Amino acid sequence: MTKIKAETLFLAVIVVIISLIINPNIVALNWHYQSTALAKESYKELESSHEELYEMDEGYFNLVDEEGNVLLKTGRILSVGNKFLNEDNELYKVVEVVENEARAEFVEEVDLGDSLEKENKETQKRSVVAEAEQGLQNTIGIYHSHGAESYEPSDGSESIDEGGGILQVGKTLKDSLENHNINAIWNKRTHVPHDAGAYARSRRTVEELLKHNPDALIDVHRDAAPREEYKVDMGFDEIVQILLVVGQQQPNFEENKNFAESLKAVGDEKYSGLIKGVLYADGSYNQDLHPRNLLIEVGGHENTRESAESSVNLFGRVLNTRLYEDGGEAGPIVDQEGGVAGRAARGVIWVIGLTAIIITLYLAVNYKSLDEIKLKVKEFITKEFSKK
């Protein structure tokens, strides 16, 4: 190896090492594409194999504490390692499951202010000027992975393949958001049948909604639980509680967790009792596609659709407060840098620029005149790109 090639290789190695230490976005790009590929592959397998549903066909699970007190009744299948943040912000972890009963141990009391602060740190503020120049809007996407779900007292059945009462609940959420000048994009596909492939089918809907650069996505469901489980007295007309669900098997878990807990913090302040809690359950629920993609259970099949509509009307106000009010301090996530790929691309440009600077300094230090530098550069090009 010639001297100039050895020096060039040494410089290149130094530049790459420094760049990866200072600018980790290049490593992040590789992780991003690997995780995306893995997620897509897992959903292909899910569509073909129709793996186990994350919800029960009949009945419901009882989540109980160490003394046997019921913490939650839900149609979602619970397993060891799942967690539940209750209405009083007490966190429990499932340690044993026997048939339809899951026993949980108390973990800690959670300060939702911490989640609110973490979520705010990940938020990029948008100025009025930027909105005017870029045509940005406050946008929230709404969809239904299980669009056949219904409310038996109001709809006459707990499931309607052509489109259940849950669609009307989604439309009411849309109307509530639009009353706050939010661009609410509501997709009313039902994604039937209600099987393990439903989330794979709704994934395509999420990908379509992502084209609108939403600040958040809400997958609207209703639970399968006794009427009393979700009924709440808040001094309003009949109303039901809303359970927030975050999937544990997805790379955006921490971001979605912080978003869910920050919504509960706002909900607790505005409408105490509206948010039933946060369930950290098995599954992904397409939350790997967006850091603010939540599944919400609005009451259960034994509650009335009208009570669920009243609840999401209030929930729309919670979303507005959390995302857009208070001078934009808790404003929406808008990745004006083009996401992980965009940041990594700029990282590559940054490395190239740094390389050019180092080489220029090296030449300036080691050679006396511009003519000598030109000669060495010509010699470098001739030798480096020779076919030998």
What is the per-residue pLDDT across 180-195, written as a single tens digit (0 to 9) for each? Answer: 999 999 999 999 999 8
Residues in CB range of 79: below 8 A, 6 or more apart:
94, 97, 102, 282
Place of tokens 């999401």: 312
Six-digit token string for 70: 């019921």
Residues in CB range of 287: below 8 A, 6 or more apart:
246, 247, 250, 252, 253, 256, 293, 294, 295
Confidence of residue 277 (pLDDT cuts 50, 70, 90): very high
Q: Which residue has the higher pLDDT, 330 or 71?
A: 71
Tell me how far apart the alpha carbons of residues 47 and 49 are, in angstroms, rounded to a whole number.
6
Per-residue pLDDT averaged across 339-355, rounded?
A: 50
What is the per-residue pLDDT across 207-229, written as a single tens digit (0 to 9) for each? Answer: 999 999 999 999 999 999 999 99
SS3 31: helix
**For the chain, what percent of residues have pLDDT higher than 90?**
59
Task: Determine which of 61-75, 305-319, 349-363 has the lowest per-residue pLDDT on average.
Answer: 349-363
What is the per-residue pLDDT across 11-34, written as a single tens digit (0 to 9) for each? Answer: 555 555 555 444 544 444 444 444
Confidence of residue 58 (pLDDT cuts 50, 70, 90): confident
pLDDT value of position 332: 38
Six-digit token string for 226: 């006794």
CA distances to 68, 75, 336 from 281, in Å: 21, 12, 32
Confidence of residue 354 (pLDDT cuts 50, 70, 90): low
Q: Which residue has the higher pLDDT, 221 or 362?
A: 221
pLDDT value of position 122: 61
Backbone CA torsion sign across 287, 53, 104, 295: positive
Instruction: Tell me whether residue 170 is exposed, middle or buried, using C-beta atoms within 10 angstroms of its C-beta: 0 to 12, 13 to 18, 19 or more.
Output: buried
